[in-house]
């Protein structure tokens, strides 16, 4: 609740929950969100995904971003990703039309996890200001 109070006062706040599968993390979050009524609250939820032996570090966040692009504020997210984090947007081509895909092709050079991490941190920071 302290983190929510900070965020309500304009202080950006990031909260991570971790724990074993089945211990109630999702239920705890759902209960908390059910009690909080704040019209400007946006929650980014990402779940870990196991894909056999392959580790895709950013898949939960990418899936969450793809879902949010379909929301009313989706155009803002796409524009921010295009401007500040094109390597992230390149992983989400299904949210773009053919013109957007073509324009992004020129920005796709040098995609690596280090660049994605830097761009992701920056774009999440800029989105949190809104």
Q: Summarize pLDDT for 12-63 with one digit per residue, the tens.
A: 777 777 788 789 988 988 898 888 877 767 676 666 666 677 666 667 777 7
DSSP annotation of 95 reads G
Q: Answer with the residue of higher pLDDT: 106 or 122.
A: 122
Percent of the chain that is helix, strand, coil (3-state, to 5): 55, 0, 40
Residue 21 vs residues 17, 27, 33, 56: alpha-carbon distances, Å: 12, 12, 20, 19
The whole-angstrom separation of Cα 95 and Cα 80 is 13
Q: Summarize pLDDT for 54-112 with one digit per residue, the tens.
A: 666 667 777 777 777 887 878 888 888 888 888 888 888 888 888 888 878 776 667 77
The whole-angstrom separation of Cα 113 and Cα 56 is 10
Residue-level pLDDT at 51? 67
The whole-angstrom separation of Cα 93 and Cα 65 is 12
The whole-angstrom separation of Cα 31 and Cα 95 is 31
Question: What are the backbone angles phi and psi of residue 126, rounded to the nearest 5°?
Answer: -70, -35
Residue-level pLDDT at 108? 66
Residue-level pLDDT at 113? 75
Q: Summarize pLDDT for 4-15 with one digit per residue, the tens.
A: 888 778 777 777
DSSP annotation of 94 reads G
Handedness of CA 17, 61, 42, 126 (dihedral sign): positive
């Amino acid at each position: 609740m302290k983190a929510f109070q900070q965020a309500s006062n304009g202080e950006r706040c990031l909260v991570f929950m971790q724990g074993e599968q089945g211990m109630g993390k999702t239920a705890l979050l759902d209960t908390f969100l059910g009690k909080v009524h704040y019209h400007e609250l946006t929650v980014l939820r990402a779940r870990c995904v196991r894909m056999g032996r392959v580790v895709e570090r950013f898949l939960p966040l990418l899936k969450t971003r793809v879902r949010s692009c379909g929301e009313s504020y989706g155009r803002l997210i796409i524009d921010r990703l295009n401007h500040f984090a094109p390597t992230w947007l390149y992983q989400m081509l299904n949210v773009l039309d053919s013109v957007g895909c073509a324009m992004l092709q020129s920005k796709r050079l040098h995609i690596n996890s280090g660049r994605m991490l830097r761009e992701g941190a920056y774009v999440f920071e800029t989105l949190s200001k809104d």
